[in-house]
Amino acid sequence: MAGHTVRRIDDMQGHLGGAFKLARAELGVTSFGMQIIDLPPNMDRYPEHDHAAEGQEEVYVALRGGGELEVGGERFALDGDTCVRVGPDVKRKVYAGADGLRLLVIGGTPGAAYAVKDYTELGSDDPFTALLQGN
């Protein structure tokens, strides 16, 4: 692979109607997980989850718009001036603000090589199809 890769976010392949951008794969990153998620204004249906099973920690950074990240029952701002790290065992949930939210999420497992998830590869089936259909 070349020494650099440049992609416009809006041109990246995505899942969930294009809201879950496959940024890691588009840029050719293999050492850590990275996705960009576009949430519409006031969206509150982002699933609460943790990464206890795989031991992955994540960092959340707002690229555009704003919102909040609920961690352990406490909410923290997601804006252009704030980064939030969440450990693997902690439940987290994202809430988009009135202007929507473009969110960069970076993840990896401390002390372990990154394992690419199949659904984050270019051309993969959209694992979120059931959500789009209301199932």
- Quote the pLDDT of residue 118: 87
* CB neighbour list of residue 51: distance below 8 Å, 6 or more residues apart: 57, 58, 88, 107
Strand runs labelled E in the chain: 14-15, 20-21, 33-39, 57-71, 74-78, 83-86, 92-108
Per-residue model confidence as pLDDT tens digits over 33-63: 999 999 999 998 888 899 999 999 999 999 9
Token digits of residue 134: 């209301």
The pairing of beta strand 33-39 with beta strand 20-21 = antiparallel
- Quote the pLDDT of residue 129: 67
**With contact defined as beta carbons under 8 Å apart, do 109 and 52 qualify?**
no
> What is the spatial distance between Cα 55 and Cα 51, in angstroms, rounded to a whole number?
6
Per-residue model confidence as pLDDT tens digits over 5-34: 999 999 999 998 889 999 999 999 999 999
Model-level pTM greater than 0.85? yes
- Quote the pLDDT of residue 1: 54
Domain extents in the chain: 18-110
Per-residue model confidence as pLDDT tens digits over 55-90: 999 999 999 999 999 998 999 999 999 999 999 999
Token digits of residue 12: 């990246």
The CATH number of the structural domain formed by 18-110 is 2.60.120.10
